[in-house]
Amino acid sequence: MSEKILLSEVNAHTEQDLKLCYQCQKCTATCPVSAFMDIKPDLMVRKVITGQEEEILKSKTIWVCTGCETCGSRCPNLISVGKINEFMRERVYKKGLSAAVKPALDIHISFLNSIKRFGIVNEATMLAEFKLRTKDFFSDLGIGLKMFLKGKIPLKIHRIKGLDEIKRIMR
Amino acid sequence: MQEITYYPGCTLKTTAFEYGDSTLTVLSKLNIKVNEIPDWNCCGAASAKSLDHRLSILIPARNIRNACSLKSDIYVPCAGCYNNLMKAKRAIEDNKKRLEVEKELNCKFDYLPEIYPLMNLFLKDEIRGVLRSNKFKGSLKVAAYYGCAFLRPEEVLRNEHPELPKSIDTILNDLGIETVEWPLKNFCCGGDLSLADSAIVSKLVDKIISYAKEAGSEAIVTACPLCQANLEMRQNLNFPVFYFTEIIGIAMGVDKDIWWKKHLVDPSNLVKKLKEIKG
């Protein structure tokens, strides 16, 4: 029974019909990052159809997917595995579960918090929050410094005028 | 004088400063009046859609609402912004979804502006004419690179062919620059995975740069700020990566030294060459 619930939720949310998949595996063949996935794109479709939600939510795949939509663009049945991954990422976040690729969730949370604070993204404070969340202070330090010195990460804070509306939308 | 509505997006003022400044400089030279969307906000990037579908529509939709009073087409330089704005636009075009958006944003959409990538502006006949009269004279081969978000999902964007995009190639060809045929012009650069897992992105970027070189190009020319940043940050080959507006800027003689200083891979040699072959 539960397998049908997951499939119908995914179909409804992603506005596509996973049952049309005939396993040609073009999605996996064409995905630029399938080599780094623990559940390959074609298998992801199968796991939704058979209701293996827990395994999907624990997977690296949903975080490694860049949302490039190459799968959806080349699928003969117009199925985007990227849209499934997007739906599943939201589910991990909303359920408060831990993400298999934690920095990927950390960056999204830091990014949305920046929008909530300023209405736009302030790179300096967003990256600071990301570093605090990951507790990894040394990765990309050189590149970050180079960008800062080139004036690409300004410290000046700008807030949009309609910030209250943004906060209301993001309640 | 032609007027456009302009959505710069966050990066064009910061990490992609040279894209933002070269865009405005070139448009001013072309006598096009640029009206920024009043009090625009972030488009939500990859984060709104990853964590909250509702926000991924409402956040960009606020920008479309704010643009309506300007009554002209919106041009968007950033691929990610363009993609998110188009998804919001398709939601507003849907009768049921529009009611939800209107309720949350306290507005009524009686009119919807068209939303285009910035490249489309340079494909208009009168501007193509100007580009053609500013042709470079001399041989230079570059690789036009589109990435993902200007092209896919095709059914949402309905603009360029997702497998054989031509806009950046056409602009460069109009300027007399030869573009190479290569298979990775619509391959993903790794996008926002760059901060979460840089090792994967380095592999993708290596592949893109080496294919561009293999095809005989001397530089990559792109229009996406995230692609440009990843291509410069995650390579070790010192291969220059330009924004297409920077090349137009050189052709029209309005380029600024500050653009080249902002690049993480020093493009000076190629800038020198471009200036030498300028018509």
Q: d(Cα B45, Cα B185) in Å, to the nearest integer?
A: 22
Q: Is the peptide bond before A76 cis (omega within 30 degrees of 0)?
A: no
Position A138 scores a pLDDT of: 86
CB burial string B3-32: b at 16+ within 10 A, e below: ebbbbbbbbbebbbbbbbbbbbbbbeebeb
Position B138 scores a pLDDT of: 87
**Option in A72, A103, A108 nearest B50 (CB):** A108
Position A2 scores a pLDDT of: 67
Chain position carrying tokens 């070189």: B213
Contacts of B148 in chain A (CB under 8 A): 66-70
| A123 contacts B188? CB cut-off 8 A | no
Sign for the pseudo-dihedral over CA of A31, A34, A40, A44: negative
Res. A87: pLDDT tops 60: yes
B18, B47, B243: best to mutate for the A interface, most A CBs within 10 A: B47
pLDDT in tens, B192-243: 999 999 999 999 999 999 999 999 999 999 999 999 999 999 999 999 999 9
- Residue of chain B minimizing CA distance to A124: B14
Average pLDDT of chain B to the nearest whole number: 97
**Option in B104, B196, B262 nearest A150 (CB):** B262
pLDDT in tens, B122-143: 999 999 999 999 999 989 999 9
**B137 to chain A, minimum CA–CA distance in Å?**
32
Contacts of B261 in chain A (CB under 8 A): 150
Assembly ipTM: 0.96
Contacts of A32 in chain B (CB under 8 A): 187-188, 190, 204
A171 inside 8 A of chain B by CB: no
| A33 contacts B188? CB cut-off 8 A | yes
Closest CA to A76 of A19, A7, A12, A22: A22
| A67 contacts B153? CB cut-off 8 A | no
**A68 to chain B, minimum CA–CA distance in Å?**
5
Q: d(Cα A82, Cα A31) in Å, to the nearest integer?
A: 10
| A115 contacts B196? CB cut-off 8 A | no
Res. A149: pLDDT tops 80: yes
A88 inside 8 A of chain B by CB: no
| A166 contacts B14? CB cut-off 8 A | no
Res. B147: pLDDT tops 70: yes
pTM: 0.97
Res. A114: pLDDT tops 60: yes
A23 inside 8 A of chain B by CB: no
Q: Where residue B1 falls among pLDDT bands split at 50, 70, 90?
A: confident
Contacts of B153 in chain A (CB under 8 A): 69, 72-73, 80
- Residue of chain A minimizing CA distance to B47: A108
A160 inside 8 A of chain B by CB: yes
